[in-house]
Structure 1
Amino acid sequence: MGKSERVGNKCNKIYGSFQDIHASKVLEIQISEILASISDAFYALNSNWEFTYFNREAERLLLHTEAEVLGRNIWEVFPEAVGTPVFEVYERVAATGKPESFEYLFPGDGKWYEINASPSNNGISCYFKNTDVRKRSAEELVRADAEKRRILESIGDAFFTTTGDFVVTYWNARAEDLLGITRQQILGKNLWEVFPDAVNLPSYTHYRRVLDTKESASFEDFYGRWLEVNAHPAGDGLSVFFRDISIKKEAEENLRKAFEEKNTILESIGDAFFAVDHEWTITYWNREAERVLGRSREQVLGTNLWVSYADAVDSDFYRQYHHAMATGSKVTFEEYYPAIEKWFEVSAYPSADGLSVYFK
């Protein structure tokens, strides 16, 4: 800036002042270069909401060049943002002079952004980054976790998880029903402190082994009722599925007793008796059959009748047994067995399991 003194039409003196702005200009250029090179997108707005800066990352994310937006009002460039949270936050930052950070779903591209808005020079400065992948992934994790919980609550099995120190981290509704402990009572607590009387049960040993070997285990245990348990390593802890098999165990016990009773009867009758399945595999051979035919049950059980008694293939035994099996009808006959030089009176009864044969 300068002035001149004139006498008449003649310049008599010129004087003025100037200052060195090299340092500030260099700083301005350096700041501009830094803002252009940072990984975050950045733009600045003045008090009239006009763009005064728009870096390369902002260009890439918002699909506008710096030349297109500088000097223009942000709400004219991005009218779809008017009335949305970003509009409200920017207005508030400008009014209060306090910075704010927030997540924002931009209607213009349907993507999520993390924005940091700060007051500066009668306007605001905004750093932002695209967090759409992270946000979508987090939402997917939430949905997946909700779906996992829905499945674990809907399955028929009881289920729980623990850490490597047996701290319970999940306990579904079926586990509550079977063991009489609610999730509020057990979550975050040590399994064996809640069930101290179970420390001496097979479950304790199996769970320890699963943690040590990282191999799954399936077993049965009794804790007020019979339980079928499947324990699996899960990270550093356990995932355990179990179900009430008391009815099954009762049925098995009744079946065992019935089988023992049947064996007692078959061993006590005076007749010799044996049974075969539909493949002619010998499944039962009583003591009288051992005595009469001279072969122990250890020798014949699990063998094919016509392999063990190949000399009877062309006999009436063979024909009658096959007839009974084929027709599902009882047969009664007499036949001579040359190998031991004896006549036998035979009754053969077909069943769903094969053929039962009484002879004497």
Structure 2
Amino acid sequence: MLVSRRGGDVGMSHLPSKNQHTFHPLHAQKTFSLEDVGQGVDQRFAGILDSLTNAFVSLDRQWRVTYINLQAESLLQKTREELLGKILWEAFPEALGSTFYRKYHEAFETLTSIRFEEFYPHLHKWFEVQAYRSKKGMSVYFQDITRHKQVEEELFTLAAIVESSDDAIFSRTLDGIVLSWNTGAERLYGYSALEMIGQSIHTLVPPERRQEWEEIMQRLAEGQRIEHVETVRSRKDGRRIDVSITVSPVRDATGKIIGASTIARDITKRKHAEKRQHLLNEASNALVSSLDHQLTLPEVAQLIVPTLADYCRIALVDEQQQIKEITVNHIDPEKIALVRELYESYKDRAYITYGVQRILQTGKPELLSTISGDVLESVQQSPEVLQIIRALGLESYMGVPLLARGKTIGAITFSSVQAHRYYTPDDLSFAQELARRIALVLENARLHREAQAEIAERKQAEEQQRVLKERMLALATTDQVTELPNHRALLAQLDQELERAQRYERACSLLFLDLDHFKALNDGYGHTAGDAVLYEFASLIRARLRRIDTVGRWGGEEFVAILPELQADEALLLAEEVRAAVAAHTFSVGGGIHLTCSVGMA
């Protein structure tokens, strides 16, 4: 080969010098002077020139073609007969004024060799040309590099795509040493190409993800392509980011795997959105599981830590507008007491810059993306508060009110102790949405409690009204002495029973019972004793009747018994039974007396 190319650059180490050219055909070696190449090329060299892989043309001082080898015929698409003896610019008039024309004249006039690459539109080809000035004219070596240019263009296009891609694209050895690093990788990971090329990719892999990394490398060594694996990587600033990576093996010409290329896409926002939605769903489920916020809010705090905070605090305002802490949670349970101590240290201060009490006072959210020196300066006068803040390692903070019907009913604070987690306005918006849902559930629970109390109060009033109505009805239909239905109630019951007997053609009997000599007893022993006798008489009658029978006081010492579905002969037997029972009974009046009764039947 006369021309050596590597990596898209043309090398000159194997090109002939101005006056001497060395050929290396497969069957021989021959060194000759360029002066030998010209008009009437010696037959000794013609065979050698025809065997060259490069095209060769010799020109005299008048630009006439004096020799053309087989490769030149093929590339120029003209035969020797068409070119030998012809002036080059007449044979190729389209080349007049072209780069070929200018470069050839430059070499001719300066008596120097020249090399260049140029596209020849007439043949739709790219040529690499080397022109050598000699005493007899000029020798031109050229070769078709169109395919090489196409590959080069494709590589340039690919490089441009890689460099302009929003995704991080980089390559590395099997040992993890970075070989290339695009602008997308710089943006994603925060490291420049100068910082990463030549360094280990392990810089990006968090310790807890090393096992995952080893598994990926093992699959890669087996020739597998790893697609869209979602994982976590570390940025230069220490922040953890969620990425989706695709890793492909890189092979050499023999097919051996020598490295890997990686495409990484930032999915942090999507993962955060998924985590937040999951938190909202779980918090909503916890909140509606019970109306008792003493149970549900601690569950919500367990969800907030560590998804959204390293520690949090939820407080409510009671009916007396006093702050009542509901729950505190911390990723380190041993520091929960420290969080409470922090609140106790500033809760009674006249002026508070940040925190639950301030939020409850203003009803406005708070956001401190970083706990700067200015923030700490505000508590310099309180060494104990400053000491607790430093002990907690507070890095970022936000707090939101719980608002219901325009009224602040509580507050939630979120705190981060991790250097890579800083709260943003987007985080604050999410916290407000979470607070909105919590406040809505709390308000609904309050309304439910009020409604239940109102319902209970209404039911109690209704029950009292029912009892009152029953009492009034009883007073209107019950005889106060005997506790039996009175005359009015008996008439109503008698109408019902007679109507039923007539409708169903059933029997219905009546007994009329009168206590004998009652007036004399009432006059002799008094009305109180008379009432007692009437009560005992009523009890004797009632004891002998069926459950479906009705006995009532008709008036004075007279009583009526209504006997549904009882025939006259059966009623007569019952009347005799009642009469005999009364006659045998000793009434508890005056040390005990005996009375009789008269019974009529209908």
TM-score range, shorter chain: 0.5 to 0.7
1:258 to 260, 272, 284: 284
Relative to structure 1, is the Cα distance of residues 209 and 233 closer, same or farther in structure 2, using a 3 angstrom cutoff? farther
Using the alignment, how far apart are the partners of 1:158 and 1:64 within structure 2? 51
One-letter code aligned to 1:254: L
Please identify, of 27-36 and 102-111, the stretch whose mean Cα deviation from structure 2 is larger. Answer: 27-36
1:200 is matched with 207
Are 2:263 and 1:237 aligned?
A: no
Q: Describe the superposition over 1:188-209 as per-residue Cα deviations: whole angstroms up to 9, x where unpaired.
A: 433334x5xx44131x332332
CA shift at 1:52, angstroms?
0.8
The DSSP-based 3-state class of the residue aligned with 2:142 is: strand
Please identify, of 234-243 and 115-124, the stretch whose mean Cα deviation from structure 2 is larger. Answer: 234-243
2:477 is matched with none
Q: Describe the superposition over 1:191-240 as per-residue Cα deviations: whole angstroms up to 9, x where unpaired.
A: 334x5xx44131x3323321221242623437535514334233222414
Using the alignment, how far apart are the partners of 1:127 and 1:263 within structure 2? 88
2:81 is matched with 67
User: Is this contact kept in 1: 2:206–2:232, CA < 8 A?
Assistant: no
Relative to structure 1, is the Cα distance of residues 146 and 180 closer, same or farther in structure 2, using a 3 angstrom cutoff? closer
Using the alignment, how far apart are the partners of 1:84 and 1:27 within structure 2? 29
**TM-score, scaled relative to structure 2:** 0.35
Relative to structure 1, is the Cα distance of residues 178 and 47 closer, same or farther in structure 2, using a 3 angstrom cutoff? closer
Relative to structure 1, is the Cα distance of residues 108 and 59 closer, same or farther in structure 2, using a 3 angstrom cutoff? same
2:273 to 221, 240, 247: 247
1:354 is matched with none
2:174 is matched with 164
User: Equivalent pairs: percent with the same residue?
Assistant: 25
CA shift at 1:159, angstroms?
5.2
One-letter code aligned to 2:276: E
2:200 is matched with 190
CA shift at 1:144, angstroms?
3.4
Taking the TM superposition and a 5 Å limit, the aligned residue runs for 1:1-360 are 28-150=42-164, 152-153=165-166, 160-169=170-179, 171=181, 175-193=185-203, 195=204, 198-202=205-209, 204-214=210-220, 215=224, 216=226, 218-221=229-232, 223=234, 224-225=239-240, 227-235=242-250, 236-241=259-264, 242-244=266-268, 245-263=271-289
1:23 is matched with none
User: Is this contact kept in 1: 2:162–2:169, CA < 8 A?
Assistant: no
The DSSP-based 3-state class of the residue aligned with 2:216 is: helix
One-letter code aligned to 1:99: S
CA shift at 1:74, angstroms?
0.7
Relative to structure 1, is the Cα distance of residues 255 and 159 closer, same or farther in structure 2, using a 3 angstrom cutoff? farther
CA shift at 1:69, angstroms?
1.7
Q: Describe the superposition over 1:138-194 as per-residue Cα deviations: whole angstroms up to 9, x where unpaired.
A: 2133223323444x22xxx5555443333345555555455444445434433334x
Relative to structure 1, is the Cα distance of residues 141 and 94 closer, same or farther in structure 2, using a 3 angstrom cutoff? same
Using the alignment, how far apart are the partners of 1:91 and 1:174 within structure 2? 47
The DSSP-based 3-state class of the residue aligned with 2:66 is: strand
One-letter code aligned to 1:190: S
Using the alignment, how far apart are the partners of 2:282 and 2:211 within structure 1? 28
Relative to structure 1, is the Cα distance of residues 45 and 178 closer, same or farther in structure 2, using a 3 angstrom cutoff? closer
CA shift at 1:89, angstroms?
1.9
One-letter code aligned to 1:229: S
Relative to structure 1, is the Cα distance of residues 234 and 138 closer, same or farther in structure 2, using a 3 angstrom cutoff? same
Using the alignment, how far apart are the partners of 1:169 and 1:125 within structure 2? 43
The DSSP-based 3-state class of the residue aligned with 2:100 is: helix
2:530 is matched with none
> Relative contact order, CA 8 A, sep 6+: which one is greater?
1
The DSSP-based 3-state class of the residue aligned with 2:267 is: strand
Using the alignment, how far apart are the partners of 1:106 and 1:55 within structure 2? 19
Using the alignment, how far apart are the partners of 1:59 and 1:65 within structure 2? 5
Using the alignment, how far apart are the partners of 1:142 and 1:176 within structure 2? 20
Please identify, of 244-253 and 65-74, the stretch whose mean Cα deviation from structure 2 is larger. Answer: 244-253
Q: Which has the larger radius of gyration?
A: 2
Using the alignment, how far apart are the partners of 1:174 and 1:262 within structure 2? 45
The DSSP-based 3-state class of the residue aligned with 1:44 is: strand
Using the alignment, how far apart are the partners of 1:38 and 1:185 within structure 2? 48
User: Is this contact kept in 1: 2:169–2:185, CA < 8 A?
Assistant: yes
Using the alignment, how far apart are the partners of 2:174 and 2:136 within structure 1? 57
Relative to structure 1, is the Cα distance of residues 234 and 111 closer, same or farther in structure 2, using a 3 angstrom cutoff? same
One-letter code aligned to 1:243: I
Relative to structure 1, is the Cα distance of residues 133 and 207 closer, same or farther in structure 2, using a 3 angstrom cutoff? same
Q: Describe the superposition over 1:16-66 as per-residue Cα deviations: whole angstroms up to 9, x where unpaired.
A: xxxxxxxxxx99212122223323221100111111111222222212221
Relative to structure 1, is the Cα distance of residues 148 and 226 closer, same or farther in structure 2, using a 3 angstrom cutoff? closer
| Contiguous gaps of at least 5 residues in structure 2 | 1-39, 251-258, 293-602
Relative to structure 1, is the Cα distance of residues 95 and 222 closer, same or farther in structure 2, using a 3 angstrom cutoff? closer
Using the alignment, how far apart are the partners of 1:161 and 1:260 within structure 2? 47
Using the alignment, how far apart are the partners of 1:58 and 1:145 within structure 2? 34
| Contiguous gaps of at least 5 residues in structure 1 | 1-25, 267-360
Q: Describe the superposition over 1:68-117 as per-residue Cα deviations: whole angstroms up to 9, x where unpaired.
A: 22222111111111222212221222233322222121132121111121
1:291 is matched with none
User: Is this contact kept in 1: 2:163–2:183, CA < 8 A?
Assistant: no
One-letter code aligned to 2:230: F
Using the alignment, how far apart are the partners of 1:144 and 1:102 within structure 2? 25
The DSSP-based 3-state class of the residue aligned with 1:76 is: helix
